[in-house]
Structure 1
Amino acid sequence: MTTHFDFRGKTALVTGASSGIGRAFAYALAERGAKLLLVARSHDKLRDLTEELRRDFACEADFLTTDLSASGAVDAIADSLRASGTIVDVLINNAGFAAYGRFETIPLSRQRDEVQVNCVAAVALMHLVLPGMLAKSDGVVVNVASTAALQPDPYMAVYGATKAFLLSFSEAVWAENRHRGVRVVALCPGATQTGFFDVVGAQEAAVGTPMPIAKVIQDAFRAVDRNRSHRVVGTKNRLLANLPRLLSRQGVARLVEKILRPKQSRELGATPKRLGPPR
């Protein structure tokens, strides 16, 4: 059953809002009449985006410059919300990043940061805002996962594992709250037109033609309206999601390894850079 969620006057917290899918969510929510609190690492980008949204949509918008890989980042957000008396009605957990290369060549500190941003911060933020939503029997959480959640991802092993965690976590909390007025969606886009793979030349990982960001946002809102636990974006991606049903787990891992394997010209032992913007 479809029940349209009314975003007008609701306060939406968007992480990873300075670019890519997070930025697109900010615009879409402003267009729907939401009040915005934008979170990301880039102060200048957030400031400019906030000014654009205020100008273009005459909406209430503010920002908080925070690096979610820092252990105290969510506590800082919580302090800011308490100080302003803000109750979050909509949470878009979009912040995340990946590193590309053989697992043992990627610095452990970088991989810990992946887990911190992609998993720990997302869980902490949801734990922070969910009680307020439940008190009103009204709220939305969109956790931006990925099609990487649907199978193991050699050369992006930790990234895929964090997105699989986010998918499972979201589905579980959806089941707990499906009759309590709070909608929880794990959004699983594939390759998207965000420049995610271009930063370090990891085009091998971009399977298929990148889809427009607008399609990802549209599917997210459709899933919210239908109170779906998850949404795999794109018909081809939904078909590929069934691949583990057709092959053994080892077979899927071998197949994906061939698809994601770096080009022979790449130095597999080189330290990879942080990928971004997130998807």
Structure 2
Amino acid sequence: MEKKEPVVWVTGASSGIGKAAAIEFAREGFQVAASSRHESRLRLLEKEQGSESLILHLIACDVSSPSSVEEALSKIISRTGLEVSCLINNAGVTSFNSAEEDSVGEIKNIIETNLLGSIYAIKAVLPGMIKRKEGTIINVLSTAAVEVLKGSSAYSASKAGLRAYSDVLREEVRKYNIKVIDILPGPTRTPMWPEEMLNKFDSNMMAPEEIARLMVSLYRNSGSLVLEKVIMKPIGGSI
């Protein structure tokens, strides 16, 4: 029987770091389950492959909904015939408002997507990883989880919360040979930023493709060590 390549599930794969990660892992030969709640943008991944024969399974998923996450995992297993070996928790939203200006609805959406959505995805794949005694969970956080970024109170809280959750999870699952890795990117050139900020600070932002390549390296590391926390910043410093 032909050996199938491991399955990498990338959430928030329709743009930015998630999109770059989905393409990079697929180019490296992995089976990639690329999920997003933005189905139309997700379909563009197929067109952007060009002549490349990449294994991309496009899955509609709203991570803020536990049932949507469970349904997505069921589809991934059905289409690939395998459990998820690597989860990349990337789906995220933000606002650029002061704490006073943020509406309750905006705060709720940010926390439910960035924090709870990541936890729902972890809870979905964890039983399979524990049973197999192997797995990798890469949480895409932000330097906003450890540094003050004005205008990002809800976003910073969501990422700091996931960082704390990740710290505890890491210690609990070591005995199962499961790696929990946090990456904390600084300013990155993604659609999350308003266009005027992208135009103003473009030369001092990281490329999502660079971060994607690093994630592949982190996952491929199969030795006796694990880089548990990786902070990345533009060479020129944060904006």
Query: Where do 1:1-279 residues align within 5 Å?
Result: 9-50=5-46, 52-53=48-49, 55-56=51-52, 58-70=53-65, 72-81=67-76, 84=79, 86-199=82-195, 201=196, 209-224=204-219, 225=221, 226-234=225-233
1:138-166 deviations in Å (ceiling 9; x for gaps): 22111100000013433210100111112
| Runs of 5+ unmatched residues, structure 1 | 1-7, 241-258, 260-279
Where structure 2 has 5 or more consecutive residues not aligned to the other structure, the ranges are none
Q: In 2, are the aligned partners of 1:140 and 1:183 still within 8 Å (CA)?
A: yes
Equivalent-residue separation in structure 2 for 1:190 and 1:79 (angstroms): 34
Higher Cα radius of gyration: 1
Superposition CA RMSD, Å = 2.9
Deviation at 1:49, TM superposition (A): 0.8
Deviates more, 1:76-85 or 1:154-163: 76-85
The superposition leaves residues 54-109 of structure 1 with CA deviations (integer Å, 9 ceiling, x where unpaired) of 951x2432112233344642233244346555411111110001111122322211
Letter in 2 for 1:185: I
Aligned amino acid, residue 220 of structure 1: M
Q: Which residue of 2 aligns with 1:248?
A: none
Distance change >3 Å, CA 80–CA 214, structure 1 → 2: closer
Are the aligned partners of 1:68 and 1:117 in contact in 2 as well (CA < 8 Å)? yes
Q: CA contact under 8 A between 2:36 and 2:42: conserved in structure 1?
A: yes
Do 1:100 and 1:202's aligned partners in 2 also have CA atoms closer than 8 Å? no
CA contact (8 A) 2:60 2:72 kept: no
Instruction: After superposing the two structures, state which structure 1 stretch, 79-88 or 19-28, moved more.
Output: 79-88
Contact 2:114 2:159 in 1 (8 A): yes
> Identity over the aligned pairs, expressed in percent?
25
Cα distance in 2 between the residues matched to 1:101 and 1:202: 14
CA distance in structure 1 between the aligned counterparts of 2:98 and 2:210, rounded to whole angstroms: 32
Q: After the TM superposition, which of the residue ranges 222-231 and 86-95 deviates more from structure 2?
A: 222-231
**Residue of structure 2 equivalent to 1:271:** none
Cα displacement string for residues 31-55 of structure 1 (whole angstroms, at most 9, x for unaligned residues) = 2211111111222222231354495
Give the Cα–Cα distance (whole angstroms) in 1 for the partners of residues 29 and 231 of structure 2: 26
Aligned residues of 2:21 and 2:215 also touching (Cα < 8 A) = no
